[in-house]
Amino acid sequence: MAYWPSLPAGARATFWRSLQTFTVTRIVITAVLLLYLSLDPGHERLDAYVGTCAAYVAGALLFAALARFWRHRFMPQLACQILADIGFISILYLAAGGMRSGFGLLYLFPLAGAAILAPLLFAMFAAALATLFMLGESTWRIFLYLDDPPLMQAGMSGAAFFALVVVVNRLAARLIRQEELAAQRGADLRIQQAVYRIVVDDVDDGILVIGRDGHVFSGNPAARRMLGLDADSDAGHAFRLADAPALEPVAHAFEAWLAAGGAGGADGADFVTIKRWSEPGGAVRGRLDQPVHLKLRFARVDTADREVERSVIFMQDVSAIENQAQQLKLASMGRLTASIAHEVRNPLSAIGHATSLLAEDLHGPAETRLLRIVNDNVLRVNRMVEDILKLSRKVQPGGAPVPLAAFLAELQAEFTETQGLRGDIVRVGEAGSRSVRFDGLHLREVLVNLLGNAVRYASGAPGSIRVFPVLDATGRVELHVQDDGPGITPEVRAHLFEPFYTTSSKGTGLGLYLARELCLNNGAMLDYEYRTEHAGGAAGPASGRFVITFAATA
């Protein structure tokens, strides 16, 4: 068998299994022959028939044992079996009376096996043996003047044997090549999967494979770590993003991407925050020290069947990048703080004093407008200097807890009066008896900053600005500040708490950064999050709000 050494191990095992099937079929044929003998007890050559069948059974059992327990020298074993089959069938052919008995069809069994498992040359040799025997038996009958032998029928049967061998051998050869190709492709695929697992498991970015309905099918260790899942578990087992409330920002970003047509690329990036969350069983998941800020990118997997549509979510933890960028800005800014205090504030004071003096002597509309522009910019630069100086003051938080109910009520009244707002614009949620660990002056400064931004974008309708406390999954108190204005876009959200970043021409870009720094000094965390409103047991659309997560109370 010329191609046997080139076959892979899997194909060789297939050949041995086929040979075992061949031996089992031989036993079945022998049993059928014995059954035929039992139905015709008056056969004229019963003894020869029985002896041949018994020898055939013994040979079939021997061949089956060899193919099962001694898997060596495949071609010699196959050749012995084929030649033995032709010999036994020839004896039965003679005992049954030659061509008219119909036993010539039994030759199809060994010839088909030879065509499938052996090279074409050997299969043709086996077909030639069977054909020559049938022609020889018919010719011998002519010489013995026994009867009118069907010589033409024997010749046609021989031609059919050759045709069968050629067709079956070609088909078998094609199947062998297909199996070789499949085995090679399977080996290549296993290597590719091994490389894929090494790359995906070692990469720092998180990767999730997700269905259109939000069902997560797989995720690498980085993704499980970012989402707060068990690092040793399968992220895709019976898991949907919407099942965990803390992971709803990822689910909403994915749904928004699908609604936009699934456009990929870096421009379709989104930014979300993942906080600690609890499973139904009570286990707390997520990073313990601070929330995780993730940059999400989406890509659609090309699948022909929409029912098995898959997408990939690439997640990058940008918390460290944000902190590093802020530290770089603050490092350079810290070197300027001392000089700003003396070299800028003194000229600003002189400019402001000169502006006041000029305002007493100049009363024309043009002069008044110019003086007002100078005075406004002096105040703006002075406020920027004050904010920069605050960055260098790392004050310690007060030890006394702050009762939220009384504090929020007082802040609401003071802020409404200071800003000249109607009393129903800012609404404060029920805080009960909750208290938080936070310096009172710092908390007032943080909330005034957040409420000032809310007033700038809110509609001014009753209840357009809301301040309300909630409990997170771990029992810590959160304070939400929300307005009905347009939400912050993901692009702005990515730089929201960076120093000197602002979208307003009148802002310094330090307000939100200072608010976050004050929260960190008090063991709390300030972030902008997208949360889903739950009303009457039904989930509404996600909306953005500033969230202060206070330190756990003893």
DSSP symbols for 181-214: HHHHHHHHHHHHHHHHHHHHHH-SSEEEEEETTS
**CB crowding 351-376: b at 16 or more within 10 Å, else e:** beeebeeeeeeeeeeeeeeebeebbe
Residue 5: per-residue pLDDT: 45
- How many C-beta atoms lie closer than 10 Å to residue 547's C-beta? 21
CA 509 – CA 495 distance, rounded (Å): 10
Sketch the domain layout of the chain as residue ranges. Answer: 9-189, 205-317, 337-391, 402-549
Residue 236: per-residue pLDDT: 42
Task: Indicate if 402-549 has the same CATH topology as 205-317.
Answer: no
The pairs formed by 260-269 with CB atoms below 8 angstroms and a separation of 24 or more are 262/298, 262/300, 262/311, 264/297, 264/298, 264/299, 264/300, 265/297, 266/297, 268/297, 268/298, 269/295, 269/296, 269/297, 269/490
Which token pair is 147? 């009867």
> Are the CB atoms for 529 and 470 separated by under 8 Å?
no
CA 221 – CA 229 distance, rounded (Å): 9
Residue 480: per-residue pLDDT: 92
Q: What angle do CA 458, 250, 535 make, to 5 degrees?
A: 55
- How many CA atoms, within 13 angstroms, populate the side-chain half-sphere of residue 112? 10
Closest CA to 141 of 125, 129, 153, 157: 153
Residue 24: per-residue pLDDT: 76
Domain covering 205-317 assigned CATH 1.10.10.10 in the classification = no
Residue 265: per-residue pLDDT: 43
Three-class SS state of 1: coil
Residue 3: per-residue pLDDT: 47
Mention every residue, 6+ apart, whose C-beta is less than 8 A from residue 235.
208, 216, 218, 219, 223, 224, 227, 229
> Are the CB atoms for 85 and 138 separated by under 8 Å?
no
> Are the CB atoms for 88 and 18 separated by under 8 Å?
no
pTM as predicted: 0.51
Virtual CA dihedral for 527, 529, 533, 537, nearest 10 degrees?
Answer: -90
Q: What stretch of H or E contains 90?
A: helix 74-96
Closest CA to 90 of 31, 22, 156, 154: 154
Give the 3-state secondary structure percentages of the chain, helix then strand then coil, rounded to 5.
Answer: 60, 15, 25
DSSP single-letter state for residue 319: H
Architecture of domain 402-549: 2-Layer Sandwich (3.30)
Strands (E), 116-205: none
Amino acid at 194: A
pLDDT per residue rounded down to tens, the chain (554 residues): 444 445 555 556 677 777 777 777 777 777 777 676 666 655 555 566 666 777 777 777 777 777 677 777 777 877 887 888 887 777 777 766 666 666 777 777 788 878 877 788 888 888 888 888 888 777 777 776 656 666 777 778 878 888 888 888 888 778 777 777 777 788 888 888 788 777 777 777 888 888 888 888 888 888 888 877 765 544 445 567 777 767 777 888 888 888 877 654 444 567 777 776 555 555 555 554 567 778 888 888 876 666 667 888 888 887 777 667 666 766 666 666 656 666 777 787 888 878 887 777 777 788 788 878 888 778 777 766 776 666 555 555 556 788 999 999 999 988 888 888 888 899 998 888 888 888 888 888 889 889 988 888 888 888 899 999 988 767 788 899 999 888 787 777 777 777 777 766 666 677 888 888 888 878 888 888 877 665 554 555 667 889 998 887 75
CA 517 – CA 8 distance, rounded (Å): 66
